[in-house]
Amino acid sequence: MNPVRAVPYVVKQVVRHRVRSGLTVGGIAIAMFLFTAVQAMNEGVTRVTAASANDTTLVVYREDRYCPATSRLPQDYQRRIESVEGVAGVTPMKIVVSNCRTSLDVVTFRGVPKSDFIAQRGGEIELVAGSLEDWQRRTDAALVGETLASRRGFRPGMTFNAAGITAYVAGVIRSDDPQDHNVAYTALPFVQLAGRDQLGVVTQFNVKVEDSSVLDRVAGDIDRVFANAQDPTATFSEKAFIGRVADDIIELVGFARWLGLGCLAAVLALVANSIVLSVQSRVSEHAVLRALGFSGGQVAGLIIAEGIVLSVVGGGVGGAAAVAVARYGNFAMSVEGISIPISARAGLLASGLVVCGGIGVLAGLVPAWQASRREIAACFRAA
């Protein structure tokens, strides 16, 4: 039998029992929505914390401090860090967050020396809207990450208030770095004074090294320089620093993976139950197909195809809904100034459909095997 010619028959069997098929597809859609949402969170964590061979950024933080409000380092540490062999550039940074706890809607102010920021990061960011000159000219101006701007409705020329700081939106930026998505870059002195802190005190230093191969050595050298200082430092690669700060979120997402596996088990149970009921109600119909010359394998193939259709349709609806919510909701899990985006790309939906197809095959195997081995006469007697 030509598989293409069998498609109308399979679709007809699914549509024939509208209530049962509708409930099955709805249950699958809900389960796949949850599964895809968990995968989106996992993808965001992996993207932010996975180290690569090209990483050349270190974060110098106050030793034994976590929340940005408690990490206070003298800004003049910059000169001593720059003198360490292998350091290519240093950016002092004052961070103020609207909420230091884990949240889905946090505004993170990062005060930076504007000239140093443009020199070191100018080639990595894209100005989507607004004026870079406006940002450099005004002391209260902010460059806002595209995700934050979309979520809060910020546009160039607007002012906004968060964490007790009122800033002017000079531009909206786009970057491949997830930490730029929910951030507002402003002048360093502006954040220091607006955050009721004193000039000359920063939260951290972002250090660019000459080569990724010397990352660990430079980190150790920096910490040794300030080992006996009043404010000792703890230096990590950027990825390690994010993983350390966001440890609770990473554990939460790790636990959520079990929820994702539970969703897949629910999909399997739903599809298997629907197929078993369908096969039991069509025993005589299968006997007629066998009498017309269909082999047991062909009948089994029709049953498995029915499971695939149910799984893929339900999975497609649920997965597409989850991807749309993640993409257009612009959600990000933020903690202590670190942002972990809930990332949902088209590939996530494609992989979900493949998983659904596999579940459809698995759910239909046993009923299909049983139907293919029934004798024609036994089928008519059972009917």
Of 198, 231, 264, the residue that ends a domain is 231
- Burial letters 22-34, b for 16+ CB under 10 A, else e: eebbebbbbbbbb
| Lowest mean pLDDT segment, chosen from 2-16, 40-54, 352-366 | 2-16
What average pLDDT score do residues 298-312 get? Answer: 81
Q: Is residue 54 part of a domain?
A: no
* Torsion angles phi and psi, residue 104, rounded to 5: -95, -5
Q: Is residue 36 part of a domain?
A: yes
Q: Are residues 306 and 361 in the same domain?
A: yes
Q: Are residues 147 and 174 in the same domain?
A: yes
Contacts of residue 362, defined as CB under 8 A and 6 or more positions apart, other chains included, come to: 268
Q: Is 99 exposed, middle or buried (0-12, 13-18, 19+ CB in 10 A)?
A: middle
Q: Are residues 32 and 110 in the same domain?
A: no
Of 231, 263, 283, the residue that ends a domain is 231
> Residue 3: is its pLDDT beyond 60?
no
Total count of domains within the chain: 2
Q: Is residue 56 part of a domain?
A: no
pLDDT bucket at 226, cuts 50 / 70 / 90? very high
| pLDDT tens track for 44-61 | 777 777 655 567 889 999
Q: Are residues 226 and 105 in the same domain?
A: yes
d(CA 17, CA 20): 6
Q: Is residue 324 part of a domain?
A: yes
Strand partners for 218: none
pLDDT bucket at 205, cuts 50 / 70 / 90? very high
Q: Are residues 219 and 124 in the same domain?
A: yes
Q: Is residue 58 part of a domain?
A: no
Q: Are residues 215 and 73 in the same domain?
A: yes
Q: Is residue 176 part of a domain?
A: yes
Q: Where in the sequence is the domain holding 27, given as residue range(s)? A: 3-49+248-382
Q: Is residue 237 part of a domain?
A: no
Q: Is residue 239 part of a domain?
A: no
Of 205, 231, 257, the residue that ends a domain is 231
Q: Are residues 227 and 254 in the same domain?
A: no
Q: Are residues 257 and 352 in the same domain?
A: yes
Q: Are residues 115 and 176 in the same domain?
A: yes
| pLDDT tens track for 149-159 | 888 889 999 99
DSSP state, 103? B
